Amino acid sequence: MKSKKQKPDFLHLGIKLLHWFETNARNLPWRKTNDPYKIWICEILLQQTQVKQGLNHYLKFVERFPNVESLAAADEDEVLLYWKGLGYYSRALNLHKASKQICNDFKGKFPENYADILSLKGVGKYTAAAIASIAFNLKYPAIDGNFYRVLSRLFADDFDVSKPSAFQYFSELALLLMPDDHFGDFNEAMMDLGAEICKPKNPACEHCPFNIDCLAFNSGKISNFPVKSKKTKVTDLDLTYFFINFEDQFLVKRRKEDFIWKKLYEFAIEIPPEFEKYIIGHNVISHKLTHKNLKISINNVQILDFALFQKFALENDFEMVDFKRSRLKSFPKPLQNYLAKIEKKEDFQGELFN
């Protein structure tokens, strides 16, 4: 008989996590439902997005699109509108595609096994595991940034989470902890622990159910984990727009380029030389993205002749909108901010609506 165990009692840790979750679960709207559709929506929405940031969008999205049929029947443009301001807009485009996929390939019934869920556009290994476990109680660990952080700290494990193989590595580790039931609760518990206790910075170790087990905490090396070799590279990007308006109407067009903001609305990116005399000022907006520092120059072009304004719009495939109607279109965040500002006539270089 061994006097001391060399390895941690993995299953004991998993059960302890479930107990912690019983009294510490966050009260979130999508946890009141067993509807796989709504669980799917929330999992996609919360990719790289924090709860506080996405909660309102979730509520409005499922109110407008309460089921797969309503989402599949909607215009792509309207689906994008309900994603306005969230970022990673391909998520919305993929949601829309996948809803048609469910209607066509699965007869409108949400797929109930891991492989079929994984086949949905925009659903990867993490999201498939989350849906399978939460909606159908299947035993798949939903390996994400929380799992990486919690497990690497718990075992003071220096496996590089930047490597693609980290997914497989931490999946196997998570399976050792995973109890034989309540798989969805287990995954949600890990999410909550990662979000509220085992945070990236300033973790609340004094409130952590694992604080007597955590090798990183007990060796004073929490900040050493997780190990991540890949660093964020930031590049500069300059954009120039022409905000062309006649009285309270202005010109917008859907983006075709997909290097950023695919299919969102923007202003004109060029004007004919004869329009240059109508430029009455310009604004510069700085906007930070994860991988880019944007500098957006917006020239304000005021057209006084409606016939000229309309002719240019028609010949160049622009839409004429006013502020009220522009709210029904999805603009990139900086342009959305710009419209909000000039509607209130703040910081606007040039005359508008005079």
202 contacts DNA (rule: CB under 7 A) = yes
> Residue 22 and residue 34: Cα distance in Å, rounded?
18
Contact between 117 and 111 (Cβ < 8 Å): yes
Closer Cβ to DNA, 128 or 174, answer by number: 128
Written as one string, the DSSP assignment of 32-50 is G---HHHHHHHHHHTTT--
> Residue 129 and residue 138: Cα distance in Å, rounded?
8
| Residue 236: strand pairing partners | 293
* Best CA proximity match to 183, nearest among 112, 129, 133, 136: 133
Active site residue 196: no
52 contacts DNA (rule: CB under 7 A) = yes
Give the nearest distance from C-beta 6 to DNA in angstroms: 29
Give the residue, chosen from 33, 90, 171, 310, that forms a contact with DNA under the rule CB under 7 A. 90
Write each residue from 311 to 350 as x if it is in contact with DNA (CB under 7 A), else as -, in one continuous string. Answer: ---------------------xxx----------------
Binding part of the chain for DNA, among 60-68, 106-114, 169-177, 227-235 by CB under 7 A, reads 227-235
Q: Phi and psi dihedrals of 119, rounded to 5?
A: -75, -10
List Cα–Cα distances, 115 to 57, 221, 304, in angstroms.
28, 39, 59
> Residue 325 and residue 249: Cα distance in Å, rounded?
10
Give the nearest distance from C-beta 35 to DNA in angstroms: 15
Binding part of the chain for DNA, among 1-9, 173-181, 214-222, 224-232 by CB under 7 A, reads 224-232
Binding part of the chain for DNA, among 86-94, 206-214, 215-223, 300-308 by CB under 7 A, reads 86-94
Give the nearest distance from C-beta 327 to DNA in angstroms: 15
Of 22, 43, 315, 351, the catalytic one is: 43
87 contacts DNA (rule: CB under 7 A) = yes
Contact between 170 and 143 (Cβ < 8 Å): yes
Closer Cβ to DNA, 9 or 172, answer by number: 172
DSSP state of 193: I
> Residue 43 and residue 187: Cα distance in Å, rounded?
12
> Residue 265 and residue 329: Cα distance in Å, rounded?
7
Closer Cβ to DNA, 15 or 25, answer by number: 25
Q: How far is CA 7 from the centre of its chain?
A: 38
Closer Cβ to DNA, 39 or 303, answer by number: 39
| Region 156-195 residues binding DNA, contact defined as CB under 7 A | 163-165, 188, 191-192, 194-195
Write each residue from 257 to 276 as x if it is in contact with DNA (CB under 7 A), else as -, in one continuous string. Answer: --xxxx--------------
> Residue 241 and residue 298: Cα distance in Å, rounded?
5
> Residue 275 and residue 271: Cα distance in Å, rounded?
6
Give the residue, chosen from 109, 288, 325, 345, that forms a contact with DNA under the rule CB under 7 A. 288
* Best CA proximity match to 129, nearest among 191, 69, 84, 82: 191
> Residue 252 and residue 280: Cα distance in Å, rounded?
19
Give the nearest distance from C-beta 36 to DNA in angstroms: 14
* β-strands 292-302, 279-288 pairing: antiparallel
Write each residue from 122 to 161 as x if it is in contact with DNA (CB under 7 A), else as -, in one continuous string. Answer: xxxxxxx-x-------------xxx-xx------------
Q: What is the binding site for DNA (CB under 7 A)?
A: 26, 28, 30, 42-43, 46-53, 85-90, 94, 121-128, 130, 144-146, 148-149, 163-165, 188, 191-192, 194-195, 200-202, 228, 231-234, 259-262, 287-293, 332-334
Please list the active-site residues: 43
